[in-house]
Amino acid sequence: MNDVATAARMPEVRSDTWKQAKVRPRRLGHATFETPDLDKAVDYYTQVVGLVVASRDKDRAFLASRIGQLIVQLERGDAPACAKLSFEVAPDSDFNELARHLSAEGVQSEQRSDSVPGIAKVLAFKDPKGTTIELFSQWSYLGKHHQVLGVGPLKLGHVAFLVHDPQKIADFYGRVLGFRVSDWIEDYFVFMRCGPDHHSVNFLQGKSQKLHHFAMELKDMAHMQASCELFANRKIPIIWGPLRHGPGHNVATYHRNQDDQVLELFFELDLMKDEDLGYFEPRPWHHDTPQRPKVWPRNGTTVWGPPPLPDFLRARD
Ligand SMILES: [Fe+2]
């Protein structure tokens, strides 16, 4: 393909439209998963992932990290799905005002109270692919310094979805919610940030619209090694990695959970510490100097590590 043809379909990576957004999530909070087997899911998230049950009833469970941040909400459902994501907005946010801004973009929202432990109030709406987004501004820790049995991640890092049209969803997250494009892989996979982390959401072109994978952050390589030993002990196969990615440059492993969903564990994700500087905090493993948002080629971007196994690749089916 010649340069003109390539350039013609290159997605935009350095747009300033996000600066116009009046609704601006700053941090990914927690993800809500529907599951047909709540007991099995609670077992996995406590014994393998190393989260703590903060509260539980017949149809729901809320799981916190060992430092007491809510990471995962489980709800009994017919089939495994990621139904909701929560994001923190600025502490002085006026939810009536945010609702008006969303409405001006054709997005209907509603305020809900006391639906989530530690979060008094959320403003809920659906994104264009049907995922419920819950914005919150005030929250409290659910206990602290818990002893955990499994891996014990630091936080929920990002959630990746298969979507029919990544450009359309990226436009919505940029224009309406102020997300910035951190990278594209060709025109089929976009990584977006709402804070310093290289990505909190990513959207991958697919035939269906559903969860592709979700990711939790670990502290360092020693923490990742301990997680690999635990997977070996529990006979949970690692289906990709350990590897260092190109886009985001995170070191990562992937495995499948009790509902056959792909969970990534990662550390050393690229950070955009200053939006005005426009480059990621320089690191020795970067491809470019400095490393700025860009469009990557489809193949050959991995810095080191093995290719994915078929059990990872079927996540795109
Ligand atoms: Fe990921």
Give residue 228 CA to ligand 1 midpoint distance, Å.
Answer: 17
Give residue 80 CA to ligand 1 midpoint distance, Å.
Answer: 19
Q: Give per-residue pLDDT as tens, 158-174.
A: 999 999 999 999 999 99
| pLDDT for res 143 | 84
| pLDDT for res 9 | 63
Mean pLDDT by 10 residues, the chain (317 residues): 51 87 96 98 98 95 96 98 98 96 97 90 97 96 86 97 97 96 96 98 96 98 98 97 98 98 98 97 96 93 95 90
Q: Give per-residue pLDDT as tens, 270-302.
A: 999 999 999 999 999 999 999 999 999 998 789
Q: Give per-residue pLDDT as tens, 103-121.
A: 999 999 999 997 899 999 9
Give residue 192 CA to ligand 1 midpoint distance, Å.
Answer: 11
- What ranges make up the beta strands (E) of 6-131? 27-35, 52-56, 60-64, 70-76, 81-88, 110-116, 119-126
Give residue 158 CA to ligand 1 midpoint distance, Å.
Answer: 7
Give residue 199 CA to ligand 1 midpoint distance, Å.
Answer: 8
Give residue 102 CA to ligand 1 midpoint distance, Å.
Answer: 28
| pLDDT for res 103 | 97
Contacts of 15 (CB under 8 A, 6+ apart): 174, 181
Give residue 189 CA to ligand 1 midpoint distance, Å.
Answer: 11
| pLDDT for res 144 | 77
| pLDDT for res 115 | 80
Give residue 249 CA to ligand 1 midpoint distance, Å.
Answer: 10
Give residue 207 CA to ligand 1 midpoint distance, Å.
Answer: 19
| pLDDT for res 247 | 97
Q: What sign does the dihedral 212-218-220-225 (CA atoms) show? A: negative
**Whole-model pTM above 0.85?**
yes
Residues in the chain: 317
Give residue 215 CA to ligand 1 midpoint distance, Å.
Answer: 6
CB-count exposure of residue 116 (10 Å: 0-12, 13-18, 19+): buried
Give residue 85 CA to ligand 1 midpoint distance, Å.
Answer: 16
